[in-house]
A and B are shown apart, each in its own frame.
Chain A
Amino acid sequence: MENELALLNNYLVVGAMLFGIGVIGFVSRRNMIIIFLAAEMMLQGVSLSLVAWARYHNDFGGQMFVVFIITVAACEAALALALILMLFRASGSLDIALWQHLREANQPAYVDEEIPELEVKSPTWPRLVPAGRQPELDRSDTEHRPSV
């Protein structure tokens, strides 16, 4: 019994930590996919503590609950992917701060402080000495398709 209580404690602490990390990620990140992942992490924390409680009480209700939580989370993930995809098509960015047109009439928009532009340098790779037979490439394999 002592052992079981210690085990329960440990799992509850880990579950609460996962939940807390999820909350922090949810409120501090701006990438829509990462926000969603943070919410998923909160759900995992809940699931972990439910399973720990189920073991402690020797009751299967908690595990059943977790199965349903996982399913609902999958449904939400599918919807989130679809939603994010549509928003990305509309705005071309995953930044959630772009979606702030609905607000109180006289409230100013939230504007970023100056963020230095990240220098993106496309790397130049050396050409290798050709050897062997030239592979036959389909044009569609090498071309960059801009349609997303």
Chain B
Amino acid sequence: MTERPLPAITPETRHFWEGARSGELRLQRCAPCRHVYFPPRPFCPQCGSPDVTVFRASGRATLYSYVIHHRPAPGFMPPYSIAVVQLEEGPRMMTNIVDTPQTPEGLQLDMALEVVFERISEDISLPLFRPAGRAA
């Protein structure tokens, strides 16, 4: 099975991937307007201010929407979920939901989730999400 496509880190996203490698989900917050955003940019997409900081997010999220893909893709065995989660801090991100049956029953919209990192290369650990409150 071919591996999943690897992200190529850019200067503006390095903090995110360094955080992921150390088990932290990092977001950015605008100092003037307090907007929390993702994906990474060195300025606020809401007000344009370059006065932004990186912070560690809680890793808590809810399931916003998803599909269950039934065809093979590089690095994946079908069926598998491709999901968008709503992070507690506001932004949404794409991910896979793991540690739950890849069925409509196992994937209920608005279910509580928590981040878990899967190391896929020396540089890249991907943030995935699993149902919240389960022992690792």
Q: Do A and B make up one complex?
A: no
